[in-house]
Structure 1
Amino acid sequence: MTQPGPEDPRSADPRAGAAPAGGAEEPRGVDSRGAVDLSALAGGQQGQQGQQSRPSRPTGAAQQPAASGGGQGADSWVIAVQAQQLQQVVQLSSQAPVVVLIHGADDASEQMRTRLEDAVDAQQGRVLMAEIDASSPEIAQAQGADQVPVATAFLGGRPVGEFDASVPAEQLDQLVPQLVQAATQNGMTEPLPPQSTRAAGGAEAEPELPPEHQKAHDALEAGDLDGAVAAYEEALRQKPGDEDATVGLARVKLMKRTQDADVEQVRRAAADAPDDVDAQTAVADVDVLGGHVEDAFARLVRFIQQHPGEDRETARAHLVELYSIVGDSDPRVNKSRQQLARALF
């Protein structure tokens, strides 16, 4: 697996070309001939703004709690996503390496899929795998889409290698650890929480959801963020104290706010307008989505400390919502809450 040179992951552009980073030669067995150009999908097909990208279960800092399955399944770091969700998946590669597998229903796809799932889950959160069904319209229309299965590895927001079913099984087992090693060399050492549950047979075991939560989940599967918002809001009307619906609603709203965001433009706007609460909350959103949680929290706490009045309350409410997205049990949330208390009082 090719390895990118050390860099601040926030400077990595997910719209970069598919050439391996650092100009290093690809190892034998990594074959991109006929592969789908995932970097084009990652950059979106609508000019400079990337398409909205949302995993079927929000991941990384914006994830749903992994299902315990009542002890009947094993934690997994494999998720199924839609093609239009790829931008968000690529952003997660600033936290940990991401392997994106485009697969069909053929035997070769199933064998490669199972092998990679086992290799990824063996790393216990040091790498994430996102699976895309090749029958989706976005993939079916892409050049070379018939060349499945094919997988592309992303690190720091950049593609670092592609491989297909021609890679020998034993070599495929080595590729994931090599990717983790490259991530470690770039300072990515924190494992991600589980993203799903694998049943004993190796398939994902989905938890049974309340009706409105299931509607929200189905809407997310279809890329309908407005529908997901409406479903979570209805769940809260039916049960005002529904914590899962509250958190789910906050997470979907984060997706809506960032779905068309140009990260570089958002950062420039925040740098040019340090006293603009909207600019500061916008960059905090993309930081949380990209895994830079502490940076997002520190930015808003600092703004709150320096700006009394209505802007302070706007920033405080936004920060509290980001706390709920990350999770109250996260130590970064506890630390920031203490800093917020000092900033307020």
Structure 2
Amino acid sequence: MTQPAVPGSATRGAVDLTGLSTAPAASASGAAPGGSDQVHVKVTDENFTEILNRTVRVPAVMVVVSSRLPESVVYLGEVVEVAKTMQGRLQVVSVDVDTNPGILRALQVQSVPVTVGLIQAQVVPMFAGVAPKDQVREILTQFLDLAVQQGVTGRIEVASAAPSDELPPLHQEAYDAIERGDLAAAAAAYDQALVQDPKDADALAGRATVALMQRTEGADLAAARAAAAERPDDVAAQTLVADLDLLGGHVEDAFGRLIDLVRRTSGDERTAARQHLTELFDLVGNQDERVKRGRTALMSALF
């Protein structure tokens, strides 16, 4: 169970977000990018200063996600749904770590999703992972109490809020299927999207992630870890744990496990471990710094 409002649970080390953007800062009463009436706005390395300064007047909760982990995006949607019931007392901002390395470095995120609060341009650590809606509501209510204590009581106008982050129909169908646990339907929706556009990068990434979820469906993490500890050179046992780690957002743990397996094995077993690791690299994306480091480590392990 995710624990609420535990300082340091979502990020590691000091959090300094003040130097992320060189763009002019907005005034405390200024509108958030995308319009002050939006319950949910996206944050980037470039516009973060503007959004951060807005929290002097209106508190915000930031959800850190990865577009390559659809379950993190589904969770973001649930947080937004809870926020919509709070009469505009807070705004939800989201950041995709795959495309915003500055925020990723500043937060020192270890896994996604991560949820943090923003009050008076300061970070309030909340929790890592997902939580049920009722627990999210409780945590956000406690966060708003803290905001009131600090005199941050502004509101956004939710009545005229425009829909944000609308997805193509088949992508939305896939996300909805993931949310209800129907992975076969999610895979079918992504497959149909790829028939329409074979170069749809989001559909390719989503389809690969659903395949990962299907491979790990029903797996018991504790049992998988125990089996991997007992059989350190068993490719099937090690790749299952690596898949579970990646699905949970522990990207570097997954890569490290398989790189170590490549070092210890030879022949067909080494080939299988290397190929599986390469598939995980492709899933995370070559632009990710962790993938770049992982490929370098893999070359070292091979030679």
Task: Tell me the TM-score range normalised by the shorter chain.
Answer: 0.5 to 0.7
343 and 157 in structure 1: CA distance in 2 versus 1, 3 angstrom threshold:
same
CA distance in 1, matches of 2:262, 2:228: 15
165 and 243 in structure 1: CA distance in 2 versus 1, 3 angstrom threshold:
closer
| Residue matched to 1:115 | 89
The yes-or-no answer on 1:128 pairing with 2:115 is: yes
| Residue matched to 2:77 | 80
- Ranges in structure 1 where 5+ consecutive residues have no aligned partner: 10-56, 67-75, 82-99, 130-152, 176-198
164 and 303 in structure 1: CA distance in 2 versus 1, 3 angstrom threshold:
closer
CA distance in 1, matches of 2:246, 2:165: 26
| Residue matched to 1:63 | 69
- 1:94-173 superposed matches below 5 A: 103=82, 109-111=85-87, 114-118=88-92, 127-128=114-115, 154-155=127-128, 163=138, 169=144, 171-172=146-147
Kept after mapping to 1: 8 A contact 2:170/2:193: yes
- Root-mean-square deviation over aligned CA pairs: 4.7
CA distance in 1, matches of 2:143, 2:228: 48
CA distance in 2, matches of 1:327, 1:336: 11
293 and 204 in structure 1: CA distance in 2 versus 1, 3 angstrom threshold:
farther
Letter in 1 for 2:242: A
Q: Deviations over 1:58-108 (max 9, x none)?
A: 9448436x9xxxxxxxxx998124xxxxxxxxxxxxxxxxxx688498xxx
- 1:105-254 superposed matches below 5 A: 109-111=85-87, 114-118=88-92, 127-128=114-115, 154-155=127-128, 163=138, 169=144, 171-172=146-147, 205-209=164-168, 212-254=170-212
Give the secondary-structure state (helix, strand or coil) at the position aligned to 1:128: strand
CA distance in 2, matches of 1:266, 1:121: 32
The yes-or-no answer on 1:293 pairing with 2:280 is: no
1:343 shift after superposition:
2.9
CA distance in 1, matches of 2:291, 2:180: 31
1:247 shift after superposition:
1.4
Letter in 1 for 2:69: Q
- 1:254-333 superposed matches below 5 A: 254-333=212-291
1:256 shift after superposition:
2.4
**Larger relative CO (CA 8 A, sep 6+): 1 or 2?**
1
**TM-score normalised by the chain length of structure 2:** 0.54
Alignment length, in residue pairs?
216
Q: Deviations over 1:228-272 (max 9, x none)?
A: 112223444554444332211111122223343322222111111
Kept after mapping to 2: 8 A contact 1:304/1:344: yes
Kept after mapping to 2: 8 A contact 1:61/1:293: no
| Residue matched to 1:141 | none
Identity of aligned residues (%): 41
CA distance in 2, matches of 1:212, 1:281: 30
1:300 shift after superposition:
0.7
240 and 218 in structure 1: CA distance in 2 versus 1, 3 angstrom threshold:
same
| Residue matched to 1:89 | none
**TM-score normalised by the chain length of structure 1:** 0.49
291 and 216 in structure 1: CA distance in 2 versus 1, 3 angstrom threshold:
closer
Kept after mapping to 2: 8 A contact 1:274/1:280: yes
Kept after mapping to 2: 8 A contact 1:297/1:336: yes
- Ranges in structure 2 where 5+ consecutive residues have no aligned partner: 13-62, 96-102, 108-113, 117-125, 151-157
1:226 shift after superposition:
0.6
Q: Deviations over 1:11-51 (max 9, x none)?
A: xxxxxxxxxxxxxxxxxxxxxxxxxxxxxxxxxxxxxxxxx
